[in-house]
Amino acid sequence: MFTTEERERFSNQKELILAALSQGPQTNTALNHLAFRYSARIHELRRAGHRIEIASHDRATGVTVYELR
């Protein structure tokens, strides 16, 4: 399915996202700079037990704010 390199990259991206969220709420724009498919990494982190929630979503701009609880 995934190569070893891909799994490693995904793991690194999850660590980066978790570290950023540990610093405080993050926008989807900021998370996109860490991982192009940040939503997939957030899904994986949630499945691993991390409580990542949507703090706000602005439909006009498309900006979503995620936070770690």
Dihedral of CA atoms 48, 62, 56, 22 in degrees, nearest 10, equals: 40
pLDDT of 7 reads 80
Sign of CA dihedral 50, 38, 25, 33: positive
CA distance 51 to 44: 11
Cβ–Cβ < 8 Å for 53, 66: yes
Q: What is the CATH number of domain 4-68?
A: 1.10.10
Domain boundaries, the chain: 4-68
Q: What is the pLDDT along the chain (69 residues), one digit of tens a residue?
A: 779 887 888 789 999 999 999 999 999 999 999 999 999 999 999 999 999 999 999 999 999 999 999
pLDDT of 5 reads 84
